Amino acid sequence: MERLEKQFYQQPTLELAEKLLGKIFVRILPGNIHLKGRIVETEAYLGQQDQASHAWRGRTQRNQIMFQAPGTLYVYFTYGCHYLLNIVSEPENSAGAVLIRAMEPVEGIPFMQEQRGTAILTNLMSGPGKLTRALAIDCSSNGKDLFGDEFFLENAPQLPAAMILTSARVGISKSRELPWRKFMLNNPHVSKGKAT
């Protein structure tokens, strides 16, 4: 399947959050273990105009990856137990990222089930903390990009507008009114609004 190139990520964050839906996130682990998930839910986060963004107060040591080139992975630890996966989306030195909130398992399901400790497919990746655990992603992936042999996205047909729903973001206390969460209609792997 065709890999998405750098120009795909060079679009405004709010547009990218929608265009990512349906695309296939791929991680290849040592031992030729292929893990794939179809992105079914995202949230957009911008820079200083977005109080829920890590970049709201400017560049720091923690958020500096958000200021790197589009297609870079921004992974951080939160709630004392979850790693969250984001794809950097704005031009370099401008902060923005799309949080990947949920995926539909496609390949490598036995590995994901072992990682998550569950055999229930709709529970494997139906939240941002769940999907990173299923894909064995932690902060060691922070700053890597989607253009090498370990991580990349495979293309898939753009979803029709009628298949894409919009809502407020989940699990935040500031800028909650912004309708920057995008998700696939009637997909059982969507997080149903849960924070993790």
Categorize the per-residue pLDDT at 94 as very low, low, confident or very high, splitting at 50, 70 and 90.
confident
- pLDDT the model gives residue 195: 40
For 114-132, write each residue's pLDDT tens digit.
999 999 999 999 999 999 9
Residue 112 — φ and ψ, nearest 5°? -60, -40
| Domains recognised in the chain with CATH numbers | 6-184 (3.10.300.10)
C-alpha span between 16 and 45 (Å, rounded): 11
- pLDDT the model gives residue 137: 97
pLDDT at 158 over 50: yes
- Single pTM value for the model: 0.91
Instruction: Enter the tokens of residue 107.
Output: 């390949």
For 30-56, write each residue's pLDDT tens digit.
999 999 999 999 998 876 576 555 555
- pLDDT the model gives residue 172: 63
- pLDDT the model gives residue 77: 85
- The pLDDT mean for the chain works out to 88
Residue 186 — φ and ψ, nearest 5°? 60, 25
For 163-183, write each residue's pLDDT tens digit.
999 987 776 656 667 778 999
CA proximity to 103, closest of 134, 137, 136, 141: 134
pLDDT-above-70 percentage for the chain: 85
